Structure 1
Amino acid sequence: MTHVAVEFDRSAWQQDLNTIIPLDRLEEMAADGEIASVADEHYSFMGAADPVTMEKSARAVAAKMKQEGVNTVFLIPI
């Protein structure tokens, strides 16, 4: 995972990606039967993006997730 802003503090997620996207916890929940599964693909958008471009990209990602059968998403601010 990367982040383009040079002033962004990467130290926490470089040590443990679960601090920003809790994939290990989600996998544990799936293994315990608390959730059905965890998607193979994960997406992130930079908040400072142009709204028109962001909407186009978000719609494309939403369509792809719908096609893949994703029925729940986590929106996690970073």
Structure 2
Amino acid sequence: MANYNKYDPELKEKVLHLYLEEGRTKKSLTEEYHLGQGTITYWIQQRRKECQTNTTVKEQTDAYEENKRLRRE
């Protein structure tokens, strides 16, 4: 049987913000917050699915992705 952790929604939002807007890597976030890389990947996938149905979340995520891309340039 799998063991699932319930994470604080504020932690989830902070990690998503750091990844999407600040351009942090999954590896750095897993080390800093002691999370599995799969957990972060799952959260990102959930956010992208939310974006498909919720235009406000989509606009925010698009802005995060654009900021991330610009920081890499």
Normalised by the length of structure 1, the TM-score is: 0.33
With a CA cutoff of 8 Å and minimum separation of 6, indicate the structure with the bigger relative contact order.
2
More helix by share: 2
Normalised by the length of structure 2, the TM-score is: 0.35
